[in-house]
Structures are given as C-alpha cells and as structure tokens.
Amino acid sequence: MTSGALEKQFMMLFKTRRPLVLSGFLVILGVMLIGLVMLPQAKSIISLRQKISQETGQLTKLQQKVMELNDALISPEYAQVDVVNQALPSKKPILDLLTSLSSTIAQSHVKLEQLEVSPGLIASEAAEQSVIVKKQTGIGNDYLALSLKISGSFNQVEEFMRRIEEISPFTTITSFDLSEKVSDTEQKTGEDQVVIMMDIKTFFFAQNVKQTLENPLPVLSDKERETLRQLASFRSSGLMEQKEITGGGLEDLFGVEGYSLELKQLYEQAE
Amino acid sequence: MPRSINFVREHRRQLKFLVEKDTQILKQAGIGFGVIIVLMVALLIGNWTMSRQLTNLLAKQESTRQTIQSQADLELKYLVFVEKLNILHQLFADRQGKQEALAFFRSLFVGGEVKIAGLKYDDTDQQLTFSIRSDSIFSLDQVFDVLKSDQVKQKYPSIDKKGLSRSNDGSYSLQAIVQMGQKEEES
C-alpha cells in the first residue's frame, strides 16, 4: 500500500470517525503525560517530602541548640564559671597555688619547714606537647605535685589539712605521714607538737574540647550541681591574672648607681 | 414492479451508531484526560510548594547555623565549663573516702585518755594508718571495743590492728590500718 493510499484512508477515517481518532489521540497524550510528567513529579514529591521531614528535624535540633545555649549562658550555674575556672584553671597554676598555700599556712598558724615543688615545663613547646599526650589518653587534667613539711599542734595541722583541700586551684592531699615532734615548744605551750610530711597535687585542666554544630549541648546533672555547691566554699588565691608586661625598657638592667654614665660611654665606644 | 433495496440507509444507520459510540468514547477519554490534567497540575503545584518549603527550611537552617557559629566562643566556654565540672566531680569523689575516714576516726578518739599519735595515708594503696596511744590498759581496752563496734565494722569492715607495744611510762601504742578501697568495692 502506497503512502498516498494510507493517507487517503486515514483522512477518510478522520472524516467519518473523528471522535474515535481524537479519543485515541487523547489516550496517547494522557499516557505520555503520565509517563513523562506525572510519574517524575510524584517521585520528586516523595523525595522532597522525605527531605523536608529530615531537614525539619535538623532545624528543630539547631533551634533547640540555640535556645539551650541562650538558656545555659544565663543559667545560675554558668554564673559560677569564674569559680570553676579558679578551681580548675586551664594553665599551670603555680603562682595561685603558692599564694593560696601561703594564706592557708598563715590562717592555720602552722609552720612550713620544707617545700619541694617540681613545676616542670611551664611555657615551653615541650610542656604543650606533654599536655597533648595526656589529652590523647583521655585524662583531661594534669597536676602540679608538691611536697611539704609542716609543723604545729595537732589541731593546727588538722586545720591546715582541712583548709588545704578547700582552696582554689583544686588541691588534694595524696599522701601524708604525721608524727609527734618533741621540742622545747611543747614544753612552753603545753600542746603536743606534730610534724607532717605530705604530698599534695594541684590540678589544672588540660583537655582539648571541640564543639560540633549539630551536637546538642550537655545538660548539667545533679552531680555537677552538687560539685558547684561544694566549690562555693572554696577560697581562691585572689591573684589577678597578669595580661600585660609591666616595667621593662631599662637601659641599665642592674641599675647600679654611679655606673650608668660609664656604661653609656663603654656602649658608645663599642659601637 | 421490482422492489428497491436501499443499502445507503442501512450504512447510514450503522455509521450513526458508530459515531454515537465514538462520541461516547471521546467523552470518556476527555474526562480521563481532564482528570490527568488536573492531577498533573496538582502534582506540579505540590512539587513547587514543597520545593519552596525546602528552600525556606534550608534558609532557616543556614541562619540558625550562623547564629550558633556567632556564639561559638561562648559555646566553647560553656563546654569547657561542663567538662571542668565533670573532672572536678571525679576529683571530689576520689578523695571523699579519705576525708570521710579521717573525720570518722578522728571523731572516735577525741579527748580522753586515748589520742592519735600518728597518721599515715597513701593514695596509691588507699590505706589510712592510725597510731593510737592510750594512757592505760583500760583505755586501750576501750580502743579495742570501739574498733570492734558495729558502727566501725559497718563502715570499715577491714581494719588491721598491729604493733601493740608498751612504753616505759605505762602507755600503750597500737596501729590501726584502715583499708578504704575495700569498702568502696563492697558498696
């Protein structure tokens, strides 16, 4: 059959049975619309719905975190952040410890007979490395160790032992050996004199804390609140943190009187 | 007179019937197509609305993230604060046993003829050693009674007594070793 005859027949069919041809055309168009437009749209809607549900959850988490953070920052617990920072500073608190120790000795009326301290590396790169090693092991804190020899009456020493564990930075007695001390003082005061050798540890914070955007904020539990209550009775050294260098700029470091002019001349000659 | 047969009329009747049937089919196809169009428009609108909703959500997320990031320093300080509190809680707990034991035994031997002549403690072996001195055998007997009492046994079931000696002045000395780790393990 030639194409002309086919066309003629189609025209005949279209002329006589136009509604049927149109119906066929509509069915074909409908199937094409379903296959090419509606199905992809439906799939896209299902996928969008899943994504919206997922992202809504994520947004809720983030908004909750903002709220939690705002609440946490104005909470009465966080108001004590300075107390906590003094109790567990983020640096080796050697000066704070010595100041607190000195005031505790004075308040307890004991006599410091011997003091040994090994501060280790304070501000060198190696000190930072040693801290990093501990961070990796998950310890979270490091300490300064001190050995003391204290003498006084039993009550005074006992008072000192109680007070030393109530100072900031957090200090704890790790071992002690108390024994009686026989001396002339005992005869004078009538009180038993004792001498105590003790090792104490002062802790500081050495942990790398990282925040993650999506992670929720930790919630303070009763145990942390109890810790805050215990810290409330702690006494800090009251030592202000030095943030800038004071003094300096001296030409004559030793400042020996009468020599400054000669030194200046020597300096000029050397130049 | 010959009878005439009209084929055209029959054909027209059949054609009319077919056209009516075709019109019916077209009507149904039209309705079906209309439904498809309506559904398609609904799907397109739904898709567009959801895309907009997702875009808004992502924009809100971004702005919330920026808010959190702008407070990153404060968040870090708060996290450090909580971490420090956790460490301090652990440190408090570690020394609680020692403090309680010291206070407890000190309260047992306050005044009277018995006194604490020496005290020794080591964190590593969790042992607290008391050197107790009593002026007479009777007060020493009281010391034994106290150390064997239920009050003491309940709190510290493992107390070693050793080094009992008598001095020239008639006083007696005794060492009591309190094992603190054991009590904690049992509890």
Query: What one-character-per-residue DSSP string does A207-268 give?
Result: ------SSSPPPPP-HHHHHHHHHHTT-B---PPPP-S--S---SSSS--TTTHHHHHHHHH
**Average pLDDT of span A209-237:** 86
pLDDT by residue (tens digit) across A73-122?
899 999 999 999 999 998 888 888 889 999 999 999 999 999 998 776 65
Distance from C-alpha of A43 to C-alpha of A56, rounded to nearest angstrom: 20
What residue ranges in A90-244 does DSSP mark as E strands? 111-117, 141-153, 171-181, 193-205
pLDDT score of A132: 44
pLDDT by residue (tens digit) across A126-135?
444 444 444 4
Q: What percent of chain B has pLDDT over 90?
A: 36
A231: which residues sit within 8 A by CB, 6+ positions away? A80, A83, A84, A87, A168, B88
Query: Which amino acid belongs to residue A266?
Result: L
CA-wise closest residue to B93 among A78, A226, A160, A164:
A226
pLDDT score of B156: 87
Candidates A47, A172, A214, partner chain B, best to mutate (most B CBs within 10 A): A172
Which residues on adjacent β-strands are paired with residue A146? A117, A200
Which pTM does this prediction carry? 0.75
CA-wise closest residue to A104 among A156, A143, A62:
A156
pLDDT by residue (tens digit) across B101-132?
888 888 887 767 788 888 899 888 888 898 88
Q: Residue B93: is its pLDDT beyond 80?
A: yes
The answer, for A66 touching chain B at a CB cutoff of 8 Å, is yes
Distance from C-alpha of B19 to C-alpha of A16, rounded to nearest angstrom: 8
Name the residue among A48, A205, A211 with its Cβ closest to that of B54. Answer: A48
- When pLDDT is cut at 50, 70 and 90, the band that residue A38 belongs to is very high
b vs e for A150-185, b when ≥16 Cβ sit within 10 Å of the residue's Cβ? bbbbbebbbbbbebbbebbbbbbbbbbbbebbeeee
Residues 11-30 of A with CB under 8 A from B: 16-20, 22-23, 26-27, 29-30
A190 or B167: whose pLDDT is higher? B167
**Strand B114-122, strand A193-205: pairing:** unpaired
CA angle centred on B121, ends B117 and B127, rounded to 5°:
110
Question: Could you tell me if A66 and B70 are in contact, meaning their C-beta atoms sit under 8 angstroms apart?
Answer: no
- When pLDDT is cut at 50, 70 and 90, the band that residue B36 belongs to is very high
Distance from C-alpha of B184 to C-alpha of A73, rounded to nearest angstrom: 37
Distance from C-alpha of A19 to C-alpha of A26, rounded to nearest angstrom: 10
pLDDT score of A126: 47
Distance from C-alpha of B86 to C-alpha of B81, rounded to nearest angstrom: 9
Burial of A9 (0-12, 13-18, 19+ CB in 10 A): exposed
Q: Residue B186: is its pLDDT beyond 70?
A: no
Distance from C-alpha of A252 to C-alpha of B14, rounded to nearest angstrom: 128
Question: Could you tell me if B105 and B118 are in contact, meaning their C-beta atoms sit under 8 angstroms apart?
Answer: no
Query: Which amino acid belongs to residue A117?
Result: V
Question: Could you tell me if A61 and A214 are in contact, meaning their C-beta atoms sit under 8 angstroms apart?
Answer: yes
pLDDT score of B63: 95
Q: Residue A185: is its pLDDT beyond 70?
A: no
Asked whether the beta carbons of residue B92 and residue A227 sit closer than 8 angstroms, the reply is yes
Asked whether the beta carbons of residue B78 and residue A72 sit closer than 8 angstroms, the reply is yes
Candidates A15, A39, A55, A202, partner chain B, best to mutate (most B CBs within 10 A): A55
Which residues on adjacent β-strands are paired with residue A194? A152, A180
User: Sign of dihedral through CA atoms A126, A132, A136, A138?
Assistant: positive
Long-range contacts, stretch B102-105, CB < 8 angstroms, 24+ apart: B102/A161, B102/B128, B104/B155, B104/B156, B105/B130, B105/B176, B105/B178
Enter the DSSP assignment of A74: T
Burial of B17 (0-12, 13-18, 19+ CB in 10 A): exposed
Query: Which amino acid belongs to residue A244?
Result: E
Asked whether the beta carbons of residue A49 and residue B74 sit closer than 8 angstroms, the reply is no
Distance from C-alpha of A144 to C-alpha of A174, rounded to nearest angstrom: 12
Question: Could you tell me if B85 and A220 are in contact, meaning their C-beta atoms sit under 8 angstroms apart?
Answer: yes
Name the residue among A41, A161, A175 with its Cβ closest to that of B47. Answer: A41
**Average pLDDT of span A30-52:** 95
**């510290």: which residue's tokens?**
B156
Tokens of A127: 């000190």
Which residues on adjacent β-strands are paired with residue B178? B128, B159
Q: Residue A30: is its pLDDT beyond 90?
A: yes
**Average pLDDT of span B38-67:** 95
User: What value does the mean pLDDT of chain B take?
Assistant: 86
